[in-house]
Amino acid sequence: MDDIFLTTGEVIEYLHVNLRTVYRLLKAGTLPAVRVGRQWRFRKADIDAWLEGRRPGSQASTAAPPGGTAAPASAPGKGRRAADARPRILVADDEETIRELLARTLALAEYDVRTVPDGQSAIALLRAERFHLLITDLRMPGADGLAVIREARRLSPNLPVVIITGYSSEASAIEAINLGVSGYLTKPFRVPKVLSVAAKALGE
């Protein structure tokens, strides 16, 4: 069992992600793999251990990634990102454990992640900086996720938005969908699902 090796295509199916996300993980050195000629091979036991190590509460999932999760500020209103630029993602959630889990998971694929604990902070950051994806909980103190989405739409009509639906009401989720969200995440999160939803929302 431990000697089962997967091809790149099989890993894509196993993790439910796309090829670009796999290459991101390989480039970041976070996905365990071995090079065989010009091909990558992935030991299934290592992949399973990698996933298990990033579950909430595990030692790996609580370790801070190199450089932390905050990205340097960029001037608002800049043009589209260059093809080789790291996509910038804003995560808004009032639960610290959720913010940290999403930030560390997205950082695995070399996304540039900023996190905020409430809607007002999210709105302020959206006004100050440029992002390529917004991930927001719908139920937060102060300005809720719907207010954040509306402001994001006003500032950048084409900004992809992913909603976190764990504690939202059905009515709020329907309204968010009517605002044109690109996807959703349901608590508890799994690494492949987070990476898959983010990649799809970013058009990767």
Angle at the Cα of 80 from the Cα atoms of 182 and 22, rounded to 5 degrees:
60
How many Å apart are CA 118 and CA 128, to the nearest integer? 16
The predicted structure's pLDDT at residue 94 = 92
Buried b or exposed e, range 147-177, using 16+ CB within 10 angstroms? bbbebbeeebeebbbbbbbbebeeebbebbe
Structure confidence by residue, pLDDT tens digits, 116-132: 999 999 999 999 999 99
Superfamily of domain 88-201: Response regulator (3.40.50.2300)
Three-state DSSP at 18 gives coil
Contact in structure between 8 and 22 (CB atoms under 8 Å): yes
Full-model pTM? 0.68
Report residues of the chain scoring pLDDT below 70.
Answer: 1-2, 54-84, 166-173, 175
